[in-house]
Amino acid sequence: MFCVTKGTLQEMFEEVEGAIYRLEDLNEMLDLQNRQLDHRFQLALYKEKKLAELNVIKGTVLYSIVQYLKCTNYTKLADEHTERVSKYEFKQQKMMKERRETFDEVFKEELREYKATGSILKLPVSQQGPSLDEIVLDVDSTMFNEFLKN
């Protein structure tokens, strides 16, 4: 026969309560990681959109400069400039494409890892320190507002 005393019952309750708190902490960490993945993806899409817009603007400005230089009999200078700018932009686009591909690969790998394991290895979960219930956040939003203005 199994005898449960008041002390052992109390210890069991405390152990279960501690496990529930740890489970809640883990659940909140997973939610945070999901939001971070979503934000990274949205940021990558936004960056691609802005780079495409920048390329359109660069093309328009470059075309205007070339037309101006041709009109003022500086065709040789304009051709040299256009060639240098084209080479530079090609080199920059190649570098940006490589970077984008690298970041895409890393993002896809993190996403696969997250789907497979349910967590991201780069964000270690610390079991030491205060729990989420003990953390008090300051509500100073001046730095956040400055960031949004820029």
129 found inside a domain:
no
**Looking at the domain assignment, is residue 46 inside a domain?**
yes
Question: Measured between alpha carbons, how far is 128 from 68 in angstroms, rounded to an integer?
Answer: 66
* Domain assignment present for 59: yes
In a domain, 120, yes or no: no
Give the model's pLDDT for residue 2: 66
Task: Output helix, strand, coil percentages for the chain, rounded to the nearest 5.
Answer: 80, 0, 20
Q: Check residue 37 and give its pLDDT.
A: 92
pTM above 0.75, yes or no: no
Residue 148 domain flag? no
Give 66-71 contacts, CB < 8 A, sequence gap 24+.
none
Q: Per residue in 23-62, is it b (16+ CB within 10 Å) or e — as a string? A: eeeeeebeeebeeeeeeeeeeeeeeeeeeeeeeeeeeeee
Q: Is residue 21 part of a domain?
A: yes
Amino acid at 133: D
Q: What is the pLDDT of residue 145?
A: 84
pLDDT at 1: 53
The whole-number mean pLDDT for each consecutive block of 10 residues of the chain, a chain of 150 residues, reads 80 95 96 93 92 86 74 72 90 92 90 83 63 75 82
Q: How far apart are CA 75 and CA 79, in angstroms?
A: 6
Task: Tell me the Ramachandran region of residue 3: left when phi exceeds 0, alpha when psi lies from -120 to 50, beta otherwise.
Answer: beta
Cα angle 141, 145, 147; round to 5: 120
Residue 16 in any domain: the answer is yes
- Print the domain residue range for 98: 1-108
Tokens of 13: 């309750």
Spell out the alpha helix ranges (H) of 3-74: 6-71
The closest alpha carbon to 74, from 86, 63, 66, belongs to 66
Residue 140 located in a structural domain:
no
Domain count across the chain: 1
Per-residue pLDDT tens for 2-39?
A: 677 888 889 999 999 999 999 999 999 999 999 999 99
